[in-house]
Amino acid sequence: MEKTADVVIIGGGVVGLSIAYYLALKRAGRIVLFEKGQLGEGSTSRCAGGIRVQFSTEINIRFSLESLKTFEQFEEEFGVNPEFKRIGYLFLATTEWEIGVFKENMKLQKKFDIPVEFLSPNEIRSRWTYLRMDDILGGTFCFWDGYAGPNEILTGFASGAKRVGVKIYEGMEIMGISLAKGKIHSVKTKDEEIFTPVVVNAGGPYAASIGGMVGIKVPVKPLRRQIFITAPFHLTDQPIPLTIDFHRGWYFRKEGDGLLLSGPLDLEPSLNLNIDYAAMAETSENAMYRVPALEKARIARGWAGLYEISPDHHAILGRVPEVEGFVLANGFSGHGFQHSPAVGKVISELITDREANTIDISSLSIERFAKGELMVEPMTAFKE
């Protein structure tokens, strides 16, 4: 085990591994990553893999567009097929307010030349005949969107990081961080102390407890979301987009021969990873409401994972003013998988070049909460 490192990353999910990879590419010195369990065992392996450009804030769209470049050439760069399926995202609106929000979002998305289309109920009915349409007022569709394999992306970043020299330790929890004169001094595992000037908090739903090690309140709450998978089910021969019933906060997409159905998102923070019957019943009800043919589908399995929610549902990225050398990559609020490539790039730039050039991340600083400069997102009703 190294006694010193130039950068220590805490957390071996997709975000920590992406940061490790891009840091090593930029020759940031000795980079060591600690994961308390196994790589990916946090939120990453439990996520739905959704990737979309249909966001409602400029900063999220920039992160999506930058990350898309990596997903598109993932196999060439990492030698792993990312299983990126560009099936599109279909957002469905059932109220006039939602139609207004969708149209506003489209205006913003069009500024970035994103090929998003507004669809009338008749257009939706003719393209996706299995949907219940009597309450749908319209929707938006973008064929750039889709999903990729969380484990494939994680594996690509992990093997890429190792190839460029990152040392990765699994089964090693960081239990404390020591400071000297307000600067990062070392991290401590149960048995070891590693001296380093820079620590990256990539702890996903555990971000707040890592922040607590240096006396910083990182406002990230873990919220459970459940997911259910049906037994093999044939709905149509046509491609099925990732379809979001915006009002109900429910979505579904294909998963192998079956379908992935989103379950409820808890309102209260917890680290509970169980699935429960009430959630399964609610999920089935949402599914049968929007896709009546699913009455015949059988739920075969399910799992729960933790969203890492920030107060304004945007990431918290960058340094903290109180502790020199402490860097945050937290609070992705359900988008951390799809934004992980861009996050790796900007955090590696911040550490090696003093500032992020690929995307200006100043609006995502933790200081925004104290200043009351929260991000404003009209579409907070739904998170994938």
Ligand X SMILES: Cc1cc2nc3c(=O)[nH]c(=O)nc-3n(C[C@H](O)[C@H](O)[C@H](O)COP(=O)(O)OP(=O)(O)OC[C@H]3O[C@@H](n4cnc5c(N)ncnc54)[C@H](O)[C@@H]3O)c2cc1C
Q: Which of residues 174-193 bind ligand X (CB under 6 A)?
A: 174
Q: Is 88 in the site for ligand X (CB under 6 A)?
A: no
Residue indicated by tokens 């999903």: 147
- Scanning 5-13, 84-92, 214-222, 357-365 for contacts with ligand X by CB under 6 A, the matching segment is 5-13
248 within 8 A of 325, measured Cβ to Cβ: no
The residue (of 80 and 210) whose beta carbon lies closer to ligand X is 210
Q: Is 361 in the site for ligand X (CB under 6 A)?
A: no
Dist. CA 242–CA 255, nearest whole Å: 11
- Largest Cα–Cα separation, the chain: 66
Closest approach, Cβ 55 to ligand X, in A, equals 11
For the chain, the straight-line distance linking the first and the last C-alpha, in angstroms and rounded, comes to: 39
Q: Is 156 in the site for ligand X (CB under 6 A)?
A: no
Q: Is 282 in the site for ligand X (CB under 6 A)?
A: no
DSSP-assigned letters across all residues of 169-219 = ESS----EEEEETTEEEEEE-SS-EEE-S-EEE--GGGHHHHHHTTT----
The tokens describing 263, both together, are 């379950």
Closest approach, Cβ 185 to ligand X, in A, equals 17
Residue of 96, 173, 285, 353 that binds ligand X (CB under 6 A): 173
- CA angle, 212 as apex, 210 and 214 as ends, to 5°? 90
Residue of 138, 139, 146, 204 that binds ligand X (CB under 6 A): 204
Dist. CA 117–CA 110, nearest whole Å: 10
Closest approach, Cβ 269 to ligand X, in A, equals 13
Q: Is 34 in the site for ligand X (CB under 6 A)?
A: yes
- Scanning 7-15, 292-300, 357-365, 371-379 for contacts with ligand X by CB under 6 A, the matching segment is 7-15
Q: Is 106 in the site for ligand X (CB under 6 A)?
A: no
Residue of 131, 158, 210, 346 that binds ligand X (CB under 6 A): 210
Cα torsion angle, 181, 208, 311, 8, sign: positive
Residue of 5, 23, 64, 225 that binds ligand X (CB under 6 A): 225
Q: Is 335 in the site for ligand X (CB under 6 A)?
A: yes
Q: Is 384 in the site for ligand X (CB under 6 A)?
A: yes
Q: Is 35 in the site for ligand X (CB under 6 A)?
A: yes
Closest approach, Cβ 41 to ligand X, in A, equals 5
Q: Is 283 in the site for ligand X (CB under 6 A)?
A: no
- Scanning 32-40, 97-105, 132-140, 350-358 for contacts with ligand X by CB under 6 A, the matching segment is 32-40
The tokens describing 130, both together, are 């299995």
Question: Judged by CB under 6 A, how many residues of this single chain contact ligand X?
Answer: 41
Name the nearest CA neighbour of 381 among 87, 105, 85: 105
Residue indicated by tokens 């489209």: 106
Q: If you ran DSSP here, which 8-state letter would residue 85 be given?
A: B
Q: Is 46 in the site for ligand X (CB under 6 A)?
A: yes
Cα torsion angle, 175, 179, 183, 187, sign: negative
If you count them, how many residues does the chain have? 384
Measured CA to CA in angstroms, residue 367 lies from 89, 151, 271, 298 at distances of 33, 33, 26, 47
Q: Is 59 in the site for ligand X (CB under 6 A)?
A: no
Q: Is 12 in the site for ligand X (CB under 6 A)?
A: yes
Residue indicated by tokens 């913003």: 108
Q: Is 82 in the site for ligand X (CB under 6 A)?
A: no
- Scanning 54-62, 159-167, 329-337, 357-365 for contacts with ligand X by CB under 6 A, the matching segment is 329-337
341 conformational bin, left if phi > 0, alpha if psi -120 to 50, beta if neither: alpha
Q: Is 206 in the site for ligand X (CB under 6 A)?
A: yes
CB neighbours of residue 232 within 10 Å: 11
Name the pairing type of β-strands 138-142 and 89-93: antiparallel
Closest approach, Cβ 34 to ligand X, in A, equals 5
Residue of 138, 160, 318, 334 that binds ligand X (CB under 6 A): 334
Which residues of this protein are in contact with ligand X, per CB under 6 A?
10-16, 34-37, 41-44, 46-50, 173-174, 202-206, 210, 225, 227, 305-308, 332, 334-338, 384
